[in-house]
Structure formats: structure tokens, C-alpha cells
């Protein structure tokens, strides 16, 4: 499989190594310094693009590939206001666009556990829910896309909560879900969901020990997406 890497920072490098170890060919490694090299690439020689760049580059990178009929697997967070435009473009170009805030299989199981716990807690008004996420200092966006995914699931399950806020105050408005973001090296990613009452606390968490799980997940999705069309997600890939 011929893969175009859009974004070649720490994650891009690990994805490239993982893809090569699985017998795939990296057509090009694009970052902010060599984006002009896209102009000389032959789209017909690219099977899939994997996009892990920066929030301010993601939309242009993904647009470039989708416009040329190249399926895209995207993991960059912090640009979600433009995601509907990309989804429409993918449908119009009859190609595939796959986005996930986190490609770790373990995290996606954690998402499912979070949804289930939220459904159990929807009538437990004595519990106040909050989120905490910890990442390395090079992560530009806050809160993380994974934290937002967790928060949206909780909001969908618990009627008394109608939004999330980025805040260090975990005891504020009961209708708002506070998310605390910390940037500490070398943490690759920790997410904690807490339900706290005067009587007890309930807590679930996921901690990544390194970035390998994210890279393996992204490459597995890239292998799976070939010949598929439309807007896809980890629920499609994992079938839950």
C-alpha cells in the first residue's frame, strides 16, 4: 500500500515506522517545511493519506487529498469547526474520510465504557461529573480531542448536563461539565472521568504508556479503508 504522510512530527514518524514494518511504502512525508512537494505528487500513485499534523494545517492538508480522490485517515484535533466542510467534500468526491480523536484500540474501548457509565449515572443527581486530561507540552490544543469525545458522550447520556467548559473549577455549574487540561512532559496521554458525591467517588481512567498504540491503530484503519466510501469513524472500524 502506498501511503502519503501529511504531518511528520513525532506521531508521523512513529506511523511511518509502523507502516514500513507492515510492508507499506511511504510515498512522501509532508510537513510545514516541504508542503510545496505536494505539487509534484501523482495522486494516482497514492492509496491513502494519513494526516497527523497541526490544527492550523489539518484542513488544508485533508482538503488537498480529498479533492484528488485520495481517502484520508485523520487524527489531528483542534479544527473541528471545519469538519462538516470536509465531510461534504468527501461525499462529493466519492472517496472516504475517516476521523478519530484517538486511534488507540484501548481508548476506543474506554469510550464505550464511558458511554455505559454515563447511562448508569443519568438519574444520579447527587454526583458531579468532571474530566481531566494530561498530555505532553507539545500538544497545541486544549482540551484534547479525546476529552471532547468523552465529554460529548456524557452530555448525550446525562440530560442535566448540556455543555462542557475548559476550567480548573470542578465544582461549578451543575449543567456544565468541566474539563481540566494539564501539559506535563513526557506524558503521552491520560484521561480521567470522575463522578463525585458527598458519599463516594466513581472514577474511570485510561493512560497511554507511549504513542505506539495510536500509530498501530492509524495504520490498521488505513489498511481497512481502501475501497470504502463516505464518512467513517472508529465505530465503523470496530463495529460498535
Active site residues: 135, 139
**Beta-strand relationship, 2-6 and 48-51:** parallel
Which segments of the chain does DSSP mark as H helices, in order?
A: 10-21, 55-67, 83-92, 105-121, 145-157, 212-225, 234-238
Any residues with CB less than 8 A from the CB of 177 and at least 6 apart, and which? 129, 130, 131, 151, 154, 155, 161, 163, 164, 165
CB 142 within 8 A of CB 105: no
Direct distance between the N- and C-terminal alpha carbons of the chain, in angstroms, rounded to an integer: 27
SS3 43: helix
**18 CB-near residues (< 8 Å, 6+ apart):** 212, 215, 216, 218, 219
Amino acid at each position: 500500500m502506498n501511503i502519503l504522510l501529511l504531518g511528520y512530527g513525532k506521531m508521523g514518524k512513529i506511523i511511518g515506522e509502523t507502516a514500513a514494518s507492515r510492508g507499506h511504502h511511504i510515498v512522501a512525508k509532508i510537513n510545514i517545511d516541504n508542503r510545496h512537494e505536494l505539487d509534484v505528487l501523482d495522486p494516482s500513485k497514492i492509496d491513502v493519506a494519513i494526516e497527523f499534523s497541526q490544527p492550523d494545517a489539518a484542513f488544508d492538508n485533508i482538503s488537498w487529498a480529498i479533492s484528488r480522490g485520495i481517502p484520508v485517515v485523520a487524527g489531528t484535533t483542534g479544527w473541528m469547526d471545519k469538519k462538516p466542510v470536509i465531510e461534504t467534500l468527501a461525499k462529493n468526491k466519492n472517496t472516504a474520510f475517516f476521523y478519530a480523536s484517538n486511534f488507540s484500540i484501548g481508548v476506543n474501548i474506554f469510550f464505550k465504557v464511558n458511554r455505559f457509565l454515563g447511562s448508569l449515572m443519568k438519574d444520579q443527581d447527587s454526583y458531579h461529573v468532571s474530566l481531566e486530561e494530561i498530555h505532553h507540552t507539545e500538544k497545541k490544543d486544549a482540551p484534547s480531542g479525546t476529552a471532547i469525545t468523552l465529554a460529548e458522550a456524557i452530555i448525550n447520556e446525562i440530560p442535566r448536563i448540556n455543555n462542557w467548559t475548559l476550567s480548573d473549577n470542578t465544582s461549578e455549574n451543575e449543567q456544565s461539565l468541566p474539563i481540566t487540561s494539564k501539559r506535563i512532559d513526557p506524558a503521552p496521554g491520560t484521561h480521567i472521568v470522575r463522578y463525585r458525591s458527598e458519599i463516594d467517588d466513581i472514577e474511570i481512567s485510561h493512560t497511554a504508556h507511549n504513542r505506539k498504540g495510536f500509530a498501530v491503530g492509524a495504520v490498521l484503519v488505513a489498511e481497512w479503508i481502501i475501497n470504502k466510501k463516505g464518512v467513517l469513524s472508529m465505530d465503523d472500524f470496530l463495529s460498535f
